[in-house]
């Protein structure tokens, strides 16, 4: 009888201990599941990570959605260029070199400054001008009145003075990869020595920074007319 009571007591003790353990376990807060790592940009877009690494545009959009309207207004479709090239006058057979810098932007405005210098045998031509692009700088087509100073020498004429004109700019690529321009200017306008200069230029990028450009120019002076052909390498800033 005593042995049966002892076994019954041990059984009841084990049941009490088990019940206490179950109650204590039920009162403990649940262990939260391990957080799932956030999906990468490539996983969200279902793209190859190499595609994002090789695309600055995608990287920029993933960091922050750009203000496209502001970019079109203030981000130029063409870039500042430093030029070094070869100049040739077919009528006389003379050749020389030319250097210049094109479209140095004044802040985020449409005002730019340009300057050039060329020497062909014993004659020099140089000048500087300011341009004001009237349309948003990111436009594929833009127009700019120009004002500056220019010195022009030819076989029969040597004229210097104020230069007034206009420039039409075509930029099919917003990175400066390709563009074309047509300029018309008048040196010493309204005087007997007035010289009209028409210039047609084309540029095409060879690398991200280096471009090849060509320009055709017609100079109409009081006592002579002359044509000039130029081929240059340009470094884009």
- With CA atoms as reference, report the closest residue to 231 among 64, 32, 62, 98: 98
Q: Hey, what domains does the chain have and what are their CATH numbers?
A: 1-66 (no CATH), 78-236 (2.40.160.40)
pLDDT of residue 112: 97
First and final CA of the chain: distance in angstroms?
105
pLDDT of residue 134: 95
pTM (global) more than 0.85: no
pLDDT of residue 83: 97
Distance CA 78, CA 207 (A): 15
Q: Which residues of the chain have pLDDT under 70?
A: 1-47, 52, 57, 61, 64-74
């Amino acid at each position: 009888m005593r042995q049966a009571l002892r076994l019954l007591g041990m059984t009841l003790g084990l049941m009490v201990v088990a019940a206490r353990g179950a109650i204590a376990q039920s009162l403990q807060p649940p262990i939260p599941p391990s957080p799932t790592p956030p999906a990468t940009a490539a996983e969200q877009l279902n793209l190859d990570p190499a595609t994002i690494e090789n695309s600055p545009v995608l990287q920029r959009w993933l960091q922050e959605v750009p203000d496209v309207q502001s970019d079109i207004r203030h981000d130029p479709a063409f870039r500042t260029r430093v030029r070094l090239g070869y100049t040739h006058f077919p009528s006389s057979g003379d050749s020389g070199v030319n250097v210049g810098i094109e479209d140095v932007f004044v802040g985020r405005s449409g005002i730019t400054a340009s300057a050039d210098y060329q020497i062909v045998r014993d004659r020099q031509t140089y000048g500087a001008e300011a341009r004001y692009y009237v349309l948003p700088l990111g436009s594929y087509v833009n127009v700019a009145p120009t004002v500056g100073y220019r010195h022009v020498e030819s076989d029969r004429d040597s004229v210097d003075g104020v230069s007034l004109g206009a420039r039409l700019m075509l930029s099919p690529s917003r990175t400066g990869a390709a563009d074309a321009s047509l300029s018309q200017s008048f040196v010493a306008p309204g005087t007997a020595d007035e010289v009209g200069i028409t210039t047609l230029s084309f540029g095409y990028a060879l690398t991200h920074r280096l471009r090849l450009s060509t320009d055709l120019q017609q100079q109409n002076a009081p006592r002579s007319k002359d044509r000039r052909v130029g081929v240059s390498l340009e470094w884009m800033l």
